[in-house]
Structure 1
């Protein structure tokens, strides 16, 4: 008579192996200058990978699941969300279907990646599920999903699967944890990279330095001004200290810069400053950060 526990474990093992086998045709290896990573076929002719692992120079090649190595060009990259889009011939590889479903806390998750063309898989748990958040670089991530799983550096860009085998997003290394860039973020950012080659970011045209204010608050001193930028057009000068933004006191320079996402371009901000100790108010139309 067979052991029920052994049967259950065998069934679970077979189920996991099945979902991994189903997804591996879409998994690729990415090789750029002195750097290797994983990726997946997002659409025909387009591969998504982790931007952090992609070299800034040199040629890029991709090894498909079939073993074929093809050259790739960078269609666009966004370091704030860690998403890069590569353009290449992937007609022989099926694109993956991403689900926007958010996994349940404590459920199983599998990260499927590639190591120099060889598929890899790692099993773990969904250790944190949260709401929309901003990365340290200011990128807007649609939901916070963290995994308790071991993952090598060159496995970044692989796919994270939920307990049902659905692809929930791209796995990348955070600080002491594995983070999933969810499907909603990938589709939004990769779609813009496909059509425009870049993600628009807000631009003030000033160099800022944090300073302590007399009331123990934080201000941002204008250290330099782009003469052709939005701040110069609004009337800001070097030496001005920004004390509030749209009526809210500053919490720091970094917090201010995080507000300059794609949605900020073209919007008007009310900026309160101290100029030579006297208050002044300006209306500033946020520009688009130059590509350079």
Structure 2
């Protein structure tokens, strides 16, 4: 047996072991892939899941099963489904593969199992998505995937599943195990991810000495109103850090910010004022 034949057989075996835990996900005019994370719980790519309508999964044996959305997080591209299925869960590894390592994505395409082979084209530290989600590691794959293969499992050369493959703006990205475990656990118990909330409507404002954010409206029942912030105030710093923009401020309001007390420096009628604001939890609406 040649080296190539041995490699081919080994790869086929890895795919065959993983495929029973992979399902197709059908939502309104959308097809994607998911994998069984726990008994009765399936992780899939949020971006590929329709915003409305029924959800159905296709099992490896050809059967279909109704599914409900247990929760979804747009910022990390993770959605969690509940379905009555006896399909075995997959075990995820927290290992982040190195640059240049082989990677296999096991997914579905047109309701049948599929696989794609490539390599890790980027491997690095955590990053923040364009929607403000904390992704625990940067893993890019040099692999071509169809939209229906989003949500497939990314395996290393030993067959360990290190994350979920999704389509980024210009490349295939992997949502790593650490992010999946953290987000899916919250979706399972709460149905949503807690986000920080100041209760302010802000407008960027250019100042002579930097950037500010004018308070355009205040939620009367929100944490900023309780701290004394008013419409017309101009926020210039938070926790002694000069404001770099409204979007940057919003990105600091992740799950870990809820309950934290922040020092807000502002100007009111040109005079400096300061507030201590206890970050609340953003309402679902």
Aligned to 2:219: 226
Instruction: Work out whether 1:256 is the aligned partner of 2:253.
Output: no
For 1:73, what is the secondary structure of its paired residue? strand
Question: Which of 178, 191, 200 in structure 1 is aligned with 2:172?
Answer: 178
Question: Which of 189, 192, 196 in structure 2 is aligned with 1:195?
Answer: 189
Question: Which of 274, 278, 285 in structure 2 is aligned with 1:285?
Answer: 278
- d(CA) in 2 for partners of 1:9 and 1:135? 38
Q: How far does residue 163 in structure 1 lie from its aligned partner after superposition?
A: 1.6
Q: How far does residue 277 in structure 1 lie from its aligned partner after superposition?
A: 1.4
Aligned to 1:9: 4
- d(CA) in 2 for partners of 1:104 and 1:138? 25
| Long gaps (5+) in structure 1 | none
Instruction: Work out whether 1:43 is the aligned partner of 2:38.
Output: yes
Q: How far does residue 225 in structure 1 lie from its aligned partner after superposition?
A: 1.1
Which residues of 2 match residues 95-110 of structure 1 at below 5 A? 95-110=89-104
- d(CA) in 1 for partners of 2:60 and 2:108? 9
Instruction: Work out whether 1:143 is the aligned partner of 2:134.
Output: no
TM-score, normalised on structure 1?
0.95
Question: Which of 161, 165, 174 in structure 1 is aligned with 2:159?
Answer: 165
For 1:10, what is the secondary structure of its paired residue? helix
Question: Which of 62, 70, 76 in structure 2 is aligned with 1:67?
Answer: 62
Q: How far does residue 108 in structure 1 lie from its aligned partner after superposition?
A: 0.6
| Long gaps (5+) in structure 2 | none
- d(CA) in 1 for partners of 2:79 and 2:270? 45
1:142-185 CA deviation, whole Å, 9 max, x = no partner?
A: 11111111011121111011121110000011120111001111
Q: How far does residue 12 in structure 1 lie from its aligned partner after superposition?
A: 1.2
Q: Is the 8 A contact 1:74 1:87 kept in 2?
A: yes
Question: Which of 265, 276, 281 in structure 1 is aligned with 2:269?
Answer: 276
Instruction: Work out whether 1:133 is the aligned partner of 2:127.
Output: yes
Question: Which of 142, 147, 166 in structure 2 is aligned with 1:153?
Answer: 147
1:200-253 CA deviation, whole Å, 9 max, x = no partner?
A: 1101111112111101x2211111111111111111111211110100011211
- d(CA) in 2 for partners of 1:290 and 1:187? 24
Number of residues of Structure 1 aligned to a counterpart in Structure 2: 285
Q: How far does residue 116 in structure 1 lie from its aligned partner after superposition?
A: 3.0
- d(CA) in 2 for partners of 1:220 and 1:200? 24
Q: Is the 8 A contact 1:41 1:90 kept in 2?
A: no
Q: What is the alpha-carbon root mean square deviation over aligned residues? A: 1.0
- d(CA) in 1 for partners of 2:63 and 2:7? 32
